[in-house]
Structure 1
């Protein structure tokens, strides 16, 4: 079973990578800007967010081809956030996905602009994807509205602000969870909700169940990231370990210890799976397998 989901994630990640590689950003882009955008966008990575878009769309009986532009757009949003997070004024990281970070190659100003461009292009790609899929106008507008909500000042960006504000401070477990919910959970929730909407789900109980699953997945993803920053293999992770401690980040291992963090990870995954495992209006197996994969990932 584990090999099957690893193959699935690898295949879907390759599908997304191929589409991103084909994407030309409309032409007439300054070569340096295009090079820096593609440098980070095509650097590899887990591609969990776009995979969740595709897997959720399939789980609700939708068309994967219709969901693919949205999956690519969300990876653009995620990549922009990584470029900016790595900047010296924020997390000050030298490596990402096993390669020098964008600002190390292109300079800080160009890295900022590459991130800006990827974020902006993502909205255009979602709009054209909605048109190509024949989504009703109200559904397309809802997806774009939620992109702003989950990636912006009330979501992922807010999470980064709270993360930086928590450095070198004594914070509670609840406050750490809020940072993770926004910084990581919101974009994962948007990925799942978008896959569901493109697949035909509208507002209702199924969407709420999928959202609860997604937030559980997002929290588990970040707890595992915290754990791997303590015990992970730098070669597998593609970035230095121990940076959270060096930067005095508020993490689960720092607050409750490594072993309790591992137990909490299992509990969070179990709770997330329970939100969708018994639904009759969903084929949840692939999503449940992804949750199990995240429990044991090493990168």
Structure 2
């Protein structure tokens, strides 16, 4: 039976999960609708749609694992369930952060103007950059999966009349956790580099271009600042997400740790929930799509109200 605090945290986490699914589902629907209307899929639309879909799967994986741990903890004593969740986590989490990193790099290449020949080459060959990033994802999986397979295989050999959580040593679990998230750490480091370059580009731009007499910043400065805000929000939310997932891993060693586990779960869900809303507000196409949908909902409610009044 859950305590009051556990029930509140579980309700918050479930609400965050629902908002995350709705927000990311909205991003996917708007981009798919625009691609169908234009009869073509742009690179940005593809990345945004892939990011939204991968985050929906990430949310479902986290919430499913949470409900299993809370209401059916015996299922987590099966090494097969742990194996399945590990492989799904590697694929979905790394794919989600890969899409987020790719999106930030594409915006960075479009916004920033460096005179270095490498940057100019990347700017002219943006499709090549995309395939290079796909190569990074494949290399990340190539290094991660063999280690995960070995650890799971060793755990199966140790799995004799005891649960997976108890049979695995702390050092092995830390090693397992580090390698199954190695790709995420790599993409996070790329995001930090991109953020630093954006700030450096803004500093250079402000140094060259003084504020106008009216006191308003030029358009390029506004674009830089907007991109930095979005990127910094992603970094902060990712750190919170990473802390929440780490707390959930630590809970494997703490008996009766449902309260701490649900606190970590609530923290982990802040990222997929809030960042989707930030993307909607920062992207003019998504913002216009949200306005259209709200107007349609408003009109449909008025129509239903009018019909009900006529029936009376």
TM-score, length of structure 1 as denominator length: 0.33
Q: Which has the higher helix share?
A: 2
Larger radius of gyration: 2
Structure with more relative contact order (C-alpha pairs < 8 Å, separation 6 or more): 2
TM-score, length of structure 2 as denominator length: 0.32
